[in-house]
Amino acid sequence: MAGQAEAAAAKGKPEAKQSLTFVLVHGAWVDASFWDETAAEMRKMGHTVYTPEYAGHGGDKNTQVTHEQVTKSVADFIKQKDLHEIILLGHSFGGSVIQKTAEQVPDRIKLLVFFDAFVPLDGQSVADQFPAPVQELFGNLLKTSGNNTIMLPFSLFRDVFVNTATLEQAQSLYRKVIPEPAGPAFQKLDLKKFYSLQLPKSYLFLTEDAVLPQGASGWHPGQSSHLGMFRYIEGTGDHMTTVHTDPREIADKIVQASRD
C-alpha cells in the first residue's frame, strides 16, 4: 500500500479517491439550503454528504431556541442515521455548534473542520468573538426586532456578508435571509470537554471574508488559534457568496481540509 502510494506519487498519478462522510452545519441567517451547490459538487466527487437542519431554522419558527436545542438537532441527526467516522464541518456560527456536538458524539467523529467559523473559548459566547462595534450593532438590531431575533439590513448584508457578489446575486441571496433567533449566539458555553478532546481539526479561511476583520481579531489567526494545532487551508471568497457561485472551488478546499 505504502509502496503503491509512493509509486503513484512519484509518477504524478492522480490521488487515490478517498470517499469521506461529511456532516455540514450551516451558520446564522440561513438554512440547510446554504449547502445545496457545494454538497452537490462534493457528491459528484464521490463523497457522502449530510446537511442537517437545526432547531429555530428551516421549518422551525421557534425564536426562543437555545444553543442546547440547536446542538441536540445535529447530535440526534448523527445518532439516528448512525453515522461514524464523519467529517463534522461548521460554518460561521456553526463552529460553536460542532464544538458542542463533538462533546456529545466524539466517538463518531473523525475530524472537525471550522470554515470561517467561530471557535469560542471555554466560558465564552459566539457574540464574545465580535469586535465591540459589531456587538453594539447587533444589540441595537435585537432591540429593534422586538421578538428576540436579529435581521440583517440589506446594506450590511451586501457590503460585509456578500461583498464579492454582483447586485443581482446579493439581492437573490438576501431574499432567503431569515431573522436569526438571537439567544444561542449570546449564551456563554461550557466548552471544557471540547478542549479536552483529542480530535484532529482543520481551519478553512477564505481571505475576502470580511465579517470579522483581518488579523489577530479575525477568523485566522484570531478564531483559528483557539484550536491549538490544526491544518490550515486557505481559499478565495467571502462569507456567503462563494459557496453558491464557486461551489467546486469550495468543495475542493473542504476536501483538502478533510482528507487523511
Q: 53 is written with which cell numbers?
A: 437542519
Instruction: Restricting to residues 168-197, name those near its own copies by CB under 8 A.
Output: 168-169, 171-172, 175
38 interacts with its own copies by CB under 8 A: no
Q: Which three cell numbers stand for residue 6?
A: 509512493
Q: How far apart are CA 147 and CA 56, in angstroms?
A: 13
Q: Is 18 in the site for its own copies (CB under 8 A)?
A: yes
Binding test (CB under 8 A) with its own copies, winner from 31, 122, 128, 208:
208
Cα dist. 97→24, 210, 244 in Å? 11, 21, 22
Q: Least separation, in Å, of the C-beta of 211 and its own copies? A: 10
C-alpha cell at 76: 440526534
List the one residue from 230, 241, 246, 254 that touches its own copies (CB under 8 A). 230
- Contact, 166 vs 196, CB < 8 A? no
Binding mask 46-75 for its own copies (x = CB under 8 A): ------------------------------
Q: Are 254 and 22 in contact (CB under 8 A)?
A: yes
Gap between the Cα atoms of 132 and 40, Å rounded: 38
Pick from 88, 25, 103, 100: which is nearest to 58 by CA? 25
Nearer of residues 18 and 64 to its own copies, judged by Cβ: 18
Question: At its nearest, how many Å lie between its own copies and the CB of residue 29?
Answer: 17
Q: Is residue 36 part of the contact set for its own copies (CB under 8 A)?
A: no
Please identify which residue in 107, 133, 143, 146 interacts with its own copies, judged by CB under 8 A: 133
CA dist 123 and 26 (Å) reads 22
The grid cell for 18 is: 478517498
Q: Is 166 in the site for its own copies (CB under 8 A)?
A: yes
List the grid coordinates of 70: 440547536
Q: How many residues bind its own copies (CB under 8 A)?
A: 48
Tell me the chain's radius of gyration from C-alpha atoms.
18
Residue 234 near its own copies by CB under 8 A:
yes
CA distance 248 to 254: 10
214 lies in the binding site for its own copies (CB under 8 A): yes
Cα separation, 230 vs 199, in Å, equals: 10
CB of 80 vs its own copies, minimal distance in Å: 31
Using the minimum distance from each CB to its own copies, give the nearer residue, 184 or 209. Answer: 209
The reply on whether position 155 binds its own copies by CB under 8 A is yes
Give the footprint of its own copies on this chain (CB under 8 A). Answer: 2, 5-6, 8-10, 15-16, 18, 133, 155-156, 158-160, 163-164, 166-169, 171-172, 175, 200, 202, 207-208, 210, 213-216, 218, 220-221, 225, 228-234, 236, 256, 259-260
